[in-house]
Chain A
């Protein structure tokens, strides 16, 4: 199943780097504590280590920005950000307006049908969500496709996903504390062939 941000490969690499750094640090600490051989480190080892971290930071900044820009460009290319169109945007198979409220999600389809807390889509579709909140700051997260956004009232936030190929019910949840009903603020992405 493809990740909405196209992150699967990149994210695995990032997690590997994090694990490697953690193991390196903990190994260094344990060697310093328990290994009988003593070692006076040179300053250039620290400088070398910092240069390596700078390279990692540069790589992460560059890749993360590129992935995120490409993701947003897909929305911009569809033209929906500038037009008030209710027809499906250029490159998306389906466009849904989402109203997040205390506490739930309502989905408005192209033909102005409303469904609450569940939305039916086809497998492998490119779906654009145009999300609004009328009351407080909410979040919108679909774990199955790995996308999260947070949006404040009064502003539209757009995200898009490629729906899972496997038919089934996928969780949509609010990820920002929005009042006592926060734990109940869920919806379902129903993928049906």
Chain B
């Protein structure tokens, strides 16, 4: 019995046969088809393009920041690059890419056979496209957190488009949350055998639907404030910036878990698949998802801790919860390490590019996660953490190190199923190493700069020795990531026509000692 439950829960089977969906798809299919694979492929392609765009912007401002003084950009264009980098990476790349991968995986992993309420996913996609276009036209320079009243007083005549875009992003994410929740809920009646991706879909759906209404409202109030119709956030006209802080960060903290939860779900699906055995603990994963979903709604005041507005009991609760939130993440990491450790790792897994990206992702989740222990503490936060490079170091370790690596693992894994051809192993390896060296350099240098009180959001800085060397290395790391991304794009484009044609299971389980090609037969 236990064994059957494990088999159902682990989600470890190859779920599809390789098929040339990319080649057999018309433009009309790609744009408007409600087939889950078409929606997911469209989402993935768009998100990878957004990653390219956001990354290009990062390359531009990293070049500017490599050495002190202003070389290429003035403060305003620099801040536009920075703002669009943040918005495209968070709203356009991180969240939609992992959700698209979930759209692709859920129907087979959860056994529903199709994406329930695929029309919602379609709407969610197109709303996000409209938002992205509005942002590109408006080119706001108020950072992705758009604190009023600063954000109400910068930018040109078109800045209102930025606020409309924010409200549209909220609507798009809300609908995506409803789709995910609907698909998780679709498994009701068989909770005991629901794969962890199903629990992730439920948790993610609740996070999205619970948090995005306040983002939408914040966007709308920013718009009406800017139009002088209201004064919710503008203290000069009787509003209060603290209202903004509470409203925005009520979205803003769950928001950072929005790409995290699907990325974890992808890991829970791919790890048993490559190892050929179930996760170490199923319940541990379920409990961790539930804890993460609940705790993430009460930790947000740590984003403005040094503003000292949350005092007394509220301060204590926020700090305690912010400290406790590392427990669900630790449970996930513990589960993964225990799964890896329990039995020999098949040689086929060690070779597979998605598996490599997955391991790197776990490493960066640890690197980024441990600092949460100091970030949560108001006393240490009021020293070197708040708004120095320490914070970008923490969230770049999470967003690039964990989420982008996991997204790449998902894309490489799905690639043979979508195109019927294998990616180039050599280019995949080069991409892997360029990324890991680049991301490690970048994250470490950001931590070093943060510890040396380097302020966020500056175009120019003093030539202090503790600042200049890390900045130069940081730019070098960013270039390596950019180079790796170019290799990735070349790889998927080249392999779509020249890659080895896959028949049967593209990732057969093999071990050099025991049974070579034990499960080479396709599942379907």
Interface size on B, residues (CB 8 A): 81
Q: Determine the chain A residues whose CB is within 8 A of the CB of B381 once the complex forms.
A: 148
Q: Do A11 and B380 touch across chains, with their CB atoms under 8 A apart?
A: yes
For window 388-427 of B, CB contacts with A under 8 Å fall at: 388
Q: Do A14 and B373 touch across chains, with their CB atoms under 8 A apart?
A: yes
Partner of A29, one of B153, B323, B337, B370: B337
Nearest to B283 among chain A residues (CB) is A43
Q: Is A157 an interface residue (CB 8 A)?
A: yes
Q: Is A154 an interface residue (CB 8 A)?
A: yes
A100 to chain B, nearest CB (A): 12
From DSSP, what is the main secondary structure of chain B's interface residues? helix
Q: Determine the chain B residues whose CB is within 8 A of the CB of A53 once the complex forms.
A: 326-327, 330
Interface size on A, residues (CB 8 A): 68
Q: Is A26 an interface residue (CB 8 A)?
A: yes
Q: Do A39 and B341 touch across chains, with their CB atoms under 8 A apart?
A: yes
Q: Do A29 and B149 touch across chains, with their CB atoms under 8 A apart?
A: no
Q: Is A111 an interface residue (CB 8 A)?
A: no
Q: Is A193 an interface residue (CB 8 A)?
A: no
B221 to chain A, nearest CB (A): 16
Beyond A7-B380, A25-B370, whether A150 also contacts B386 by CB under 8 A is yes
Give complex CA distance A49, B377 in Å: 21
Of B6-14, B176-184, B304-312, B497-505, the one touching chain A? B304-312
Q: Is A21 an interface residue (CB 8 A)?
A: yes
Contact with B along A44-62 (1 / 0, CB 8 A): 0010011001101100110
Give complex CA distance A11, B381 in Å: 10
Q: Do B323 and A57 touch across chains, with their CB atoms under 8 A apart?
A: yes
A16 to chain B, nearest CB (A): 11
Nearest to B462 among chain A residues (CB) is A171
Contact with A along B310-329 (1 / 0, CB 8 A): 00000110011001101100
Beyond A25-B366, A29-B362, whether A151 also contacts B235 by CB under 8 A is no
Q: Do B373 and A177 touch across chains, with their CB atoms under 8 A apart?
A: no
Q: Determine the chain B residues whose CB is within 8 A of the CB of A50 once the complex forms.
A: 327, 330-331
Q: Is A32 an interface residue (CB 8 A)?
A: yes
Q: Determine the chain B residues whose CB is within 8 A of the CB of A183 once the complex forms.
A: 75, 455, 457-461
Q: Is B359 an interface residue (CB 8 A)?
A: yes
For window 105-158 of A, CB contacts with B under 8 Å fall at: 135-137, 139, 141, 143, 146-154, 157
A57 to chain B, nearest CB (A): 4
Give complex CA distance A59, B505 in Å: 51
Nearest to A14 among chain B residues (CB) is B374
Q: Determine the chain A residues whose CB is within 8 A of the CB of B74 once the complex forms.
A: 180
Q: Do A141 and B455 touch across chains, with their CB atoms under 8 A apart?
A: yes
Contact with B along A153-166 (1 / 0, CB 8 A): 11001000000000
Q: Do B331 and A67 touch across chains, with their CB atoms under 8 A apart?
A: no
Give complex CA distance A150, B150 in Å: 14
A74 to chain B, nearest CB (A): 14
Q: Do A65 and B378 touch across chains, with their CB atoms under 8 A apart?
A: yes
Q: Determine the chain B residues whose CB is within 8 A of the CB of A78 once the complex forms.
A: none
A184 to chain B, nearest CB (A): 8
Q: Is A181 an interface residue (CB 8 A)?
A: yes
Beyond A60-B373, A173-B455, whether A41 also contacts B342 by CB under 8 A is yes
Partner of B342, one of A40, A135, A181: A40
Give complex CA distance A93, B12 in Å: 68
Q: Determine the chain B residues whose CB is within 8 A of the CB of A152 once the complex forms.
A: 235, 240-242, 245, 307, 309
Give complex CA distance A60, B69 in Å: 40
Partner of B333, one of A25, A33, A64, A175: A25
Chain B residues near A (Cβ < 8 Å): 74-76, 79, 141-143, 145, 147-150, 153-154, 235-236, 240-242, 245, 280-281, 284, 304, 306-309, 315-316, 319-320, 323-324, 326-327, 330-331, 333-334, 337-338, 340-345, 359, 362-363, 366-367, 369-371, 373-374, 376-388, 452-453, 455-462
